[in-house]
Structure 1
């Protein structure tokens, strides 16, 4: 499967071979020891290290359900009549498909796939950068793309990448793509990163968005035993990144609008975290862990975050059958 797709998630492997993720993880370790693949957070890729980047066909098959849920939730952040920038990537392409329903929207992008997803949206204006086409991800890069973004100002930038850590922020494996992404960030008042759990804790070659510039992270809930992702989420929250976690029930059309909460800033809406199976519909509103660019702290300061261990103890005492694997991002 890795040879055919370039990358694969542990969750998908477990589903295909009908076994547990624990068993799949053990087998992936054995294959890595033989040099047949490289383990990545939540999955496996072809060998290649920091410099290797999978093409669009390979990326499009990795964590597809998670990307759909993330796009549903992120779409709830966009208001009618806004001007935004959307970077290249398979997750941002999913977001673009949902933005076609937002009237009066202006989308600036360097991605042919994002533009294609919005091509038939009557009430959305699409502005494309110049630049040189990079065929592996259907994106415009180079000095032409960067120069076309000079002097531009929009409310939000929606970006994805190859990896995200609390230490370095968002990163990618390609220098030209990183340079254009930095130009997109410079044009936006807020930066929203879309990254599924397989990218959390992964560090790649070129930094695109430092952690202190990221306003929000929209991600999915890591699977059981994924301690690395849980630790990374907590570290990002501690640094003031607002985190929205899309639950399993969000991967359906139009759910992003339902997941939107009350305004957290003028012209913006705050997404809600979808709870685990059996939780009340609609989930709980996310706290704002700390002040970010253009997001002043609310009265009383940021809410406290519960540690993963504390939440696990609480659920065990209540007789819960699923230990908490991520930091509880709901306010006390």
Structure 2
């Protein structure tokens, strides 16, 4: 069982039952108690669960499992409070987030990725700055169907009448601007596309594409399964970097599009794994 799937099941168990001991979770998932403790420690650190004596419970502070603040007794209007991190500090809004550190490399990667798309086909685009940059470059394609769970990708395509957009449903994860979760994964099971374009926070020869977000990882795996060809878009800051959750193993990456500043040793090892590495 992949780590992202295991942690998703752990979250479901806790939210279904309200409080669960380590032993109960180990028995329910047929895994060791030490593995449960390790996974739960990470989920608590991410603010997705609350630690209790001898076990865990759902998150407090009026938040749901996705980290989105729910209306509390003091919310007369019922409007949601700003989402907070695990220390209680408000998360930055999109306007407050850091500027793109590699805009030129990202645009070059997006341009190369756009050249791989065949008009008249169906493709899947995951969330991320680079996939959004790719979406903005699809205006020149006469006919295309795009399946996505990304709000930003949808916004980039909304004024392009020649592009049919299939926006899958699910729980909105504001931190990544995308819908994720079991509803999203189930919707993707019935879809197929010629290509799927994914980005993440790290790419290595040992683990392939990875992300620190357990919810995004499970949904990215569903996107991967729906595409006949898997194309990973990653600038040089992601190459050689590894994060918590594996989304696409290196043997499932057909094409990696990166830039000329990427670590050459990592690219060499990826090529040895059979990945078609393209330098934008």
1:55–1:188 distance in 2 versus 1, CA, 3 Å: farther
How big is each residue's C-alpha offset from its partner over 1:11-63, in whole Å with a ceiling of 9 and x where there is no partner? xxxxxxxxxxxxxxxxxxxxxxxxxxxxxxxxxxxxxxxxxx99866465121
Equivalents in 2 of 1:58, 1:72: separation in Å?
A: 24
Question: Retained in 2: the 8 A contact 1:101–1:121?
Answer: no
**How far does residue 99 in structure 1 lie from its aligned partner after superposition?**
1.2
Partner of 2:269: 235
Segments ≥4 residues shifted beyond 2 Å: 53-60
- How big is the shift at 1:101? 2.1
Q: Quick one: distance in 2 between partners of 1:142 and 1:215?
A: 25
Q: Does 1:173 align with 2:207?
A: no
Contact kept, 8 Å, 1:60 with 1:90, in 2: the verdict is no
Which among 169, 176, 197 is matched to residue 158 of structure 1?
A: 197
Identify the match of residue 254 of structure 2 among 215, 235, 241.
215
What TM-score do you get using the length of structure 1 for normalisation?
0.55
Matched, 1:92 2:117: no
For residues 59 and 149 of structure 1, the distance between their equivalents in structure 2, rounded to whole angstroms, comes to: 31
The DSSP-based 3-state class of the residue aligned with 1:121 is: coil
Alignment match, 2:144: 105
Cα distance, 1:245–1:58 mapped onto 2, change above 3 Å: farther
Give the SS at the match of 1:189. strand
Contact 1:59 1:90 (C-alpha < 8 Å) held by counterparts: no
Structure 2 portions without partners, runs of 5+: 1-90
> What's the TM-score once normalised by structure 2's chain length?
0.65
Count of residues paired in the alignment: 190
Q: What displacement does 1:100 show?
A: 2.4
Structure 2 equivalent of residue 183 of structure 1: 222
Cα distance between partner residues in 2 of 1:111 and 1:59: 20
Task: Flag the 1:91–1:100 CA change in 2: closer, same or farther, 3 A.
Answer: same
Report the equivalent of 1:200.
239
Task: State how far apart, in whole Å, the 1-side matches of 2:247 and 2:127 are.
Answer: 13
Distance in 1 between residues matched to 2:93 and 2:186, nearest whole Å: 25
Q: CA deviation at 1:230?
A: 1.1
The CA distance in 1 between the partners of 2:107 and 2:207, in whole Å, is: 26
Gapped runs of 5+ residues in structure 1?
A: 1-52, 224-228, 247-332
Corresponding residue of 1:128? 167
Cα root mean square deviation, aligned: 1.9
Looking at structure 1, the residues matched to 227 and 169 of structure 2 have their Cα atoms a distance apart, in angstroms, of 18
**Alpha-carbon displacement from aligned partner over 1:147-193 (angstroms, at most 9, x marks no partner):** 11112111100000000000000000000000000000000111000
Give the one of 80, 101, 104 matched to 2:119. Answer: 80
